[in-house]
Structure 1
C-alpha cells in the first residue's frame, strides 16, 4: 500500500534526481560555455560558411550554449584543432577522421549522412573533360592530375589506394600531380584547362561537386562558358566509401556528447531547412556510426602511408 510517506519520499527522490541532472548540465556548461564546430574546406570559404552557419544556430538552441563555426583552411587544421581541444565538434571526411585517429587525436564519431541513394557513403572518381581525347585511366599516363588535399578521401587517399591496387602508382603513372586545396578548386582547374584530370567526390548522378557548383552558377571554362555534368567524363571510380562523420572529442562529458549526438540525429525532423542546407536537399537523414565503420578507411590511410615511405 502506497502511504503518504512513500509518496513524499518518491517525490523527494524525483526532485533530487532532477537537481542532480541539472547540476551535471551546469557542470559541463561551466567548463564549456561555448562550443566550436570545425568543418573541412570541401568548398570555398564563403560557400562553406553559408552552408554550415545555420547548423551552429540549431545546435546552440538545442544545447543551450553558443556554438561558433570554424571553417578550416585545410583538412589538417580540423585535426589539429581537435588535438588542441579547440574544436569540440568536427565534421570530417572519412580519411581526415582516420588521420586524426591514427595520430592519436581523442575523437569519436557520432553520425553521418544518408544520401538520397539510401546509403551512408559515396565514391571517389577521376574526371576528365568530355571534349578531351581521354577515354580511360590508361590514356592519362604521363598527364597532369589535380588532387584535392592530402587528407581528402575522394580527392587523394582513395584514388591513390585504388589506383595502386590497379597497378598504377600515382606519382609514377602521372606526369605531374598537385593539390588544388578543395573539391571545387580541383574541378575549376579541370574546367579551365590547368589540369588534364581531377580527383573528386561522387554521390550519385545528380549529386556531385560539379552539380552543386553548376547550381550556384560558379562552373565556367576559361572562355566563360557555363559547364554542366555532361561536360565531364568519369574515367576511374573507387569502391564504395563510408561518408565522413560528425565527431566529438572523447574527453567531453558523456552527457554533453549524448546531447550533441541526439541533436544531430534529430536535425532532419526538427529543422529540415538547416539539414537540407548541408546537402542542397540531397540527403535523407543522419545515422549513428561508430569507430568500426571507419576501420577500412583507417587501414587504407595506413597502407598509403607505407607506400609513401617505400617510394
Structure 2
C-alpha cells in the first residue's frame, strides 16, 4: 500500500512539474512574442506632420514619399537585410528606434521632381548615419525658414544671404558645411570695378564719383559690400555724387563701359585683376556677351580697385537643438560624401564640384552683421 501511494505521489509530482514547465514555456513565448511584435513593423518613425501654415502659404510643407524599396517592404533597406540574416530573428532588440533626421528643402520644381533628384542624397545619409532620414518639401524659402526656426525640421540648405537673415531672426541655427568651388575655394567676392583709363586707383579717388549697384532687390551681399566700403573709408551715402541700382550685373557694367558711371559693384569668384576676365563672375560673363557685339572688337578696360571679404557658398545648417554627437556624425558624412558617393553629392549640390568644407558663424559674420541691423 505504501508503495502504491509512493508511486501515485511521484506521478502527481511529475505531472505538476510538467505543467509548470509547460506554463513557463508558454509564458516565455508570450513575452517574446510581445517583445518582438514592434520589430515586425517598420523601425521608422511616422512621417513628420506638416508644419503649421504660414500666413502667406496655407499648405507649405509636404513629407517626401518613401523610396520604392521602403514602400514595397515597409521598412528601411538596412532592416530588410538584417531580417535575412540567419540568427537575427532570434535577437531581441530592446533599444528605441532612432528619431528621423528631418531635412527641409524648397521644391522649386515640385515635390515629385525633388523626390527623384534628392533620393541618392537621402539614402546616403540614412545608410551612413544608421537612422531614418526624411525630406520635407516646402513651397517657399520663407516657409522653410519658419519651420527651421521653430525646429519642425533639423537641417536645411540656404543661400548665404538667406541664412544670415534666418540666423539674425533667432540665433538658433548653426552653419556646418558649405560646398567648395575648385575655381574659388574661399568663396565669392564683391568687387568695385572701374575703367582703367579713369585714373581711379583707390577708394579715396571715388570722392564725388558715381557708382552702379548690380541689384535692385537689396540683396544682403550688396548691403554687406556697402558696409565694408564704409569700414574701408568710402561712405557711399556721403562721398559719392550718385548711387544707382540696376537689375543685374550686365546692366551695371554696361553703364560703366559707356561712361555713365565711374564704378560698378559686382560679384566675382576671384579678387585678382589678372583673372578678372577669365574666372567665373559678372565681369567674365559680361565680356563674353559684350564681345559678340562690341564694335571693332575693342577690349573692355575694367580693373578692380577693391574687394570684399570672401563670402562662402550658402551653408548647410542645423538647428542648435541637434545633439553634438549627431552634429559631428552629420558633418563627417557630408565632408566624405563627394568621395564616397558622388551621385549623392551631385543630388544635393549642382553648382560646386569641390566637395564640402567645414564652416562656422565667423565665415558669415559680415552678412550676419548686416542682416542683424536691417
Question: Which TM-score band (shorter chain)?
Answer: 0.5 to 0.7
Q: Which has the larger radius of gyration?
A: 2
1:174 and 1:244, CA in 2 relative to 1: closer, same or farther beyond 3 A?
A: farther
| 1:210 paired to 2:282 | yes
Alpha-carbon distance between aligned partners in 2 of 1:231 and 1:81, rounded to the nearest angstrom: 48
| 1:37 paired to 2:108 | no
| 1:291 paired to 2:361 | yes
Equivalent residue for 2:254, pick from 192, 201, 207: 192
Greater mean deviation of Cα atoms: 237-246 or 249-258: 249-258
Alpha-carbon distance between aligned partners in 2 of 1:220 and 1:294, rounded to the nearest angstrom: 33
Q: Which has the higher contact order (CA 8 A, sep 6+)?
A: 1
Aligned residue pairs, count? 263
Equivalent residue for 2:226, pick from 123, 136, 160: 160
Q: TM-score, normalised by structure 2?
A: 0.51
- How far did 1:84 drift? 7.2
| 1:150 paired to 2:218 | yes
* Counterpart contact for 1:60–1:67, Cα < 8 Å: no
1:136 and 1:180, CA in 2 relative to 1: closer, same or farther beyond 3 A?
A: same
RMSD: 5.0
| 1:91 paired to 2:173 | no
SS state of the match for residue 63, structure 2?
A: coil
- The answer for the alignment partner of 2:180 in structure 1 is 114
1:239 and 1:292, CA in 2 relative to 1: closer, same or farther beyond 3 A?
A: closer
Alpha-carbon distance between aligned partners in 1 of 2:355 and 2:199, rounded to the nearest angstrom: 40
Unaligned runs of at least 5 residues, structure 1 = 1-11, 40-44, 47-51
Map Cα deviations across residues 37-69 of structure 1 (whole Å, 9 max, x no partner): 249xxxxx99xxxxx999645434445655658
* Counterpart contact for 1:144–1:177, Cα < 8 Å: yes
Equivalent residue for 1:26, pick from 25, 45, 50: 45
1:33 and 1:301, CA in 2 relative to 1: closer, same or farther beyond 3 A?
A: closer
* Counterpart contact for 2:63–2:137, Cα < 8 Å: no
Alpha-carbon distance between aligned partners in 2 of 1:58 and 1:212, rounded to the nearest angstrom: 34
Q: Which has the larger share of strand?
A: 1
